[in-house]
Amino acid sequence: MAQVLEFKLPDLGEGLTEAEIVRWLVEVGDVVAIDQPVVEVETAKAMVEVPCPYGGVVTARFGEEGTELPVGAPLITVAVGERPASGEGDAAGAEGSGNVLVGYGTSEAPARRRRVLRERPVSGASAAGSRAVTGQGPPAAVNGQAGAPETEDGPVPVISPLVRRLARQNGLDLRELTGSGPDGLILRADVEYALRAAARAGAAAQPHAPVPQATGTATAPQPSAPQPTAPQPFAPQPTVTAAHGEIRTPLKGIRGAVADKLARSRREIPDATCWVDADATELMRARTAMNAAGGPKISLLALLARICTAALARFPELNSTVDAEAREVVRFDHVHLGFAAQTDRGLVVPVVRDAHARDAESLTAEFARLTEAGRTGTLTPAELTGGTFTLNNYGVFGVDGSTPIINHPEAAMLGVGRIIPKPWVHEGELAVRQVVQLSLTFDHRVCDGGTAGGFLRYVADCVEQPAVLLRTL
The 8 Å CB, 24+ separation contacts for 46-49 are 46/377, 46/378, 46/379, 46/380, 46/381, 46/383, 46/384, 47/22, 47/161, 47/345, 47/377, 47/378, 47/379, 48/102, 48/103, 48/378, 48/380, 48/381, 49/25, 49/102, 49/103
Q: What percent of the chain has pLDDT over 70?
A: 71
User: Is residue 461 very low, low, confident or very high in pLDDT (cuts 50, 70, 90)?
Assistant: very high
Q: Which one from 90, 359, 426, 444 is the annotated catalytic residue?
A: 444
- Mean pLDDT (the chain) is 77
Q: Number of folded domains in the chain?
A: 1
Q: β-strand 337-339 against 389-393: which pairing, if any? A: parallel
Is there a domain that residue 402 lies in?
Answer: yes
| Buried residues in 455-473 as b, exposed as e (16+ CB within 10 A) | bbbbbbbbbbebeebeeee
Q: Residue 89's pLDDT band (boundaries 50, 70, 90)?
A: very low
Q: CA 308, CA 456: separation in Å to the nearest integer?
A: 9
pLDDT band at residue 124 under the 50/70/90 scheme? very low
Residue 247 lies in a domain: no
Cα–chain center distance at 438: 25
- Tell me the pLDDT tens digit for each residue of 429-452: 999 999 999 999 999 999 999 999
Q: Is 448 a catalytic residue?
A: yes
Answer yes or no: is 7 within a domain: no
For residue 343, what are the domain limits?
A: 254-470
CB 27 within 8 A of CB 138: no
120 pLDDT above the threshold of 70:
no
We report the CATH number of the domain holding residue 296 as 3.30.559.10
> Would you place residue 43 in the very low, low, confident or very high pLDDT band (cuts 50, 70, 90)?
confident
Residue 470 has pLDDT above 90, yes or no: no
pTM: 0.58
pLDDT of residue 451: 97
Q: Please indicate, yes or no, if residue 326 is contained in any of the structural domains.
A: yes
Task: Confirm whether 270 is domain-assigned.
Answer: yes
- What distance in Å separates the CA atoms of residue 269 and residue 411, rounded to the nearest whole number? 8
Length of the chain: 473
Q: Is residue 90 one of the residues assigned to a domain?
A: no
User: Which pLDDT score is estimated for 181?
Assistant: 67
User: Among 190, 334, 448, 461, which one carries the catalytic annotation?
Assistant: 448
More confident residue, 208 or 42: 42
Would you call 444 a catalytic residue per the annotation? yes
- 215-272 pLDDT, tens digit each: 333 333 343 333 333 333 334 444 444 567 888 888 877 777 788 888 999 999 999 9
Q: Give a yes or no: residue 387 inside a domain.
A: yes
Is 11 among the domain residues? Answer: no
pLDDT digits (tens, 9 = 90+) for 296-328: 999 999 999 999 999 999 999 999 999 999 999
